Structure 1
């Protein structure tokens, strides 16, 4: 009897460690796929024929840029849309308040580029709890063109970005699926040596980019960050965020009830929901062009970084629960523990060999991803700060996740929300829990500055 129990126990251990070894190998394969995709897609950025086409032969595009306050490098960020190498576009810049500090910058650029079709819209229309959507509703309706390029205010784009994105939007997948949305992987760069800024920079330019590229290469599900997205208003007007496929075969059929951008005002992560709606409700697919969304990271301390990560983990938990719960097992430290235990049991590999090799190779892969996206190796002037940020990010990942996953409340743009099913949310009053009391530290009076953080 005891021999039978021992045999069963050994069989169970072999099974568990085999699963662990397979999981370890699978995650490394995904990471390598992301690295190779970055090399292939971003090393070369060819000039689009649309860059030199006549205005009548290029599809019209309306560039929508929602603004609030003085983002870091705001002038340069907005100027990058005035200098796009594309013959047929308009720019609509929008603010919710006529006293917004971004307006003088906008007017200066409009004076500098009088030949660019640009205008500013002042005043929001409240259609939900998402302030970005509320800010975008009026420009969305006033846009002269069907193709919309929605770009966050802290993003800088290279001159050829729009033309290459339109090329991608007019293409199809290998299986013949229509492209409904073109997005750009965020590439962060910090102008200040603040610890939160460096950790954010390391996160977005390595692990996040690597996984983002791999998931979009496999393309089994929608995965989109809304820093810079191009899609058709006519497509968005057919969906409502229900993620239920439209049953009609009519190419113009739409969902019942409120559709279009206003339908997504109830979500905090409206970018991800719009992408998912185009994917699931219309059956369209997404594409990444060969450009990045250069995301200027402002002055972030460690607390800013932590609370931003907490916010989006809590939002994702209600949108993709299973993927969110599995997330810690994809991260380097826990993955290393799984791998070292499995390989020691199955193959006798000592942990003192696998563990340092794991992190050394991981760092080299991540630096290669950075190099591909940036177009150059990591600068020596920030090398050690960046690596310190990378190490800090890896160490902080699990503690941040464990804290975030057991809560449902977030603070965004100075307001408190409770995240609901499918990522919808409602604004709530002040919370009096212990952790919310910690959050309301003396810096709370300066929280408005964080409106310039990643949106």
Structure 2
């Protein structure tokens, strides 16, 4: 047995143990929900938009249809007068005539991060003290705003964020994209939170108070940062405020229609995570037991390597089943999990071989400090 085979076997075995730990972390803790406050604060939801992406109308409608007992304003923002998303917002205004909806159209650019530029332009329209950011590809349950606001009002909390599950909306490649979220990203988050090792802040939801947003420099402070969501959370924590992560999932629409589109999207995610926590990201190699087991089999340990490969597949299936049960999510395509595991490992490995990211068709280079530059 070669030294390479031994190393790969050790990593694969550790990865199988990781899958077992993640299965335990997928079960919900008891008594986690925040109590309802005596008075609900009014809130502004910010929705930066660009283009009429798949499921956009349905996703935005879920925020317009919130069951919330206080005033809610929703501000949509685009940076071009001919953006197709404008027509979607117009239809929503007709569908929800009682809602306070506002559209901001402003082409001003404030840095390399186009989403943050959009938010800078939208900020003057904010009418309420509680501000909630949520990406355009996110769908929310009806009690979303209640649960986010209740968590934000807890003592010592300055921000609230939510993890998300994948919702395939464009066929085969979007199914693989959703599995990357449900079988890889989400377990890592749940285990990290359970062990107290994670400090997440996701673009799926960031809720904070307006005066805290101003205190961290407003959105303009993150105009050249790739991982803007993480940076906002870090800025709140630097002021001594906690960022809560209630056990509520929102849906992330996965709309990749080709392998190339999927690869570009996941490479941007991977390189974003690298800028946030390089050594932690490097250590996440242990979360890929199947590829390491197959490498061990190919490097001179066929029997133990293939045995661990079988355990890795069974563990990943068990983990995904546990998550689906805990959150009452639809049954995924389990048969795609081995392919998903190999593709995730390929993305992980290749992410160390460059600094380029492609974001909504624009090519950028990300420096090691997380700053975006023109490629």
Pairwise same-fold verdict (TM > 0.5): yes
Distance change in 2, residues 1:355/1:389 (3 Å): closer
Q: Does 1:115 align with 2:101?
A: no
Question: CA deviation digits over 1:109-128, x for unaligned, max 9?
Answer: 11232221111111143221
Q: Does 1:387 align with 2:334?
A: yes
Partner of 1:36: 27
Partner of 1:171: 154
TM superposition shift of 1:104: 1.6
Question: CA deviation digits over 1:63-86, x for unaligned, max 9?
Answer: 000111112122211111111111
* Mapping for residues 342-421 of structure 1, pairs under 5 Å: 350-351=304-305, 353-373=307-327, 375-376=328-329, 378=331, 383=332, 386-421=333-368
Q: Secondary structure at the match of 1:62?
A: strand
Q: Does 1:70 align with 2:47?
A: no
Question: CA deviation digits over 1:137-164, x for unaligned, max 9?
Answer: 1222321112111111111111110011
Q: Does 1:85 align with 2:67?
A: yes
Cα pair 1:66 1:95 within 8 Å, conserved: yes
* Higher Rg of the two aligned structures: 1
CA-atom RMSD in angstroms:
3.0
Distance change in 2, residues 1:192/1:266 (3 Å): closer
CA distance in 2, matches of 1:388, 1:19: 26
Cα pair 2:12 2:288 within 8 Å, conserved: no
Distance change in 2, residues 1:408/1:193 (3 Å): same
Question: CA deviation digits over 1:391-423, x for unaligned, max 9?
Answer: 221011222222221201111122111111321
Cα pair 2:313 2:337 within 8 Å, conserved: no
CA distance in 2, matches of 1:377, 1:105: 27
Distance change in 2, residues 1:394/1:96 (3 Å): same
CA distance in 2, matches of 1:417, 1:27: 34
Q: Secondary structure at the match of 1:237?
A: helix
TM superposition shift of 1:205: 1.4
Partner of 1:326: 283
Q: Secondary structure at the match of 1:422?
A: coil
Partner of 2:250: 293
TM superposition shift of 1:130: 0.5
* Mapping for residues 128-207 of structure 1, pairs under 5 Å: 128-172=111-155, 178-194=156-172, 196-207=173-184
TM-score relative to the length of structure 1: 0.73
Aligned residues, how many?
368
Q: Secondary structure at the match of 2:276?
A: coil
Partner of 1:27: 18
Distance change in 2, residues 1:47/1:236 (3 Å): closer
Cα pair 1:188 1:205 within 8 Å, conserved: yes
Q: Secondary structure at the match of 2:203?
A: coil
TM superposition shift of 1:303: 1.5
Cα pair 2:116 2:220 within 8 Å, conserved: yes
Question: CA deviation digits over 1:175-208, x for unaligned, max 9?
Answer: xxx22221121111113322x2111011111221
Distance change in 2, residues 1:101/1:356 (3 Å): same
Cα pair 2:180 2:344 within 8 Å, conserved: no
Partner of 1:235: 212
Question: CA deviation digits over 1:4-37, x for unaligned, max 9?
Answer: xxxxxxxx9xx98998699457624541343224
Unaligned runs of 5+ in 2: none
Unaligned runs of 5+ in 1: 1-11, 173-177, 240-258, 429-455
TM-score relative to the length of structure 2: 0.88
Question: CA deviation digits over 1:264-306, x for unaligned, max 9?
Answer: 0111120111112212x11222222243221122242112111
Q: Does 1:262 align with 2:220?
A: yes
CA distance in 2, matches of 1:222, 1:318: 14
Q: Secondary structure at the match of 1:300?
A: coil
Q: Secondary structure at the match of 2:249?
A: strand
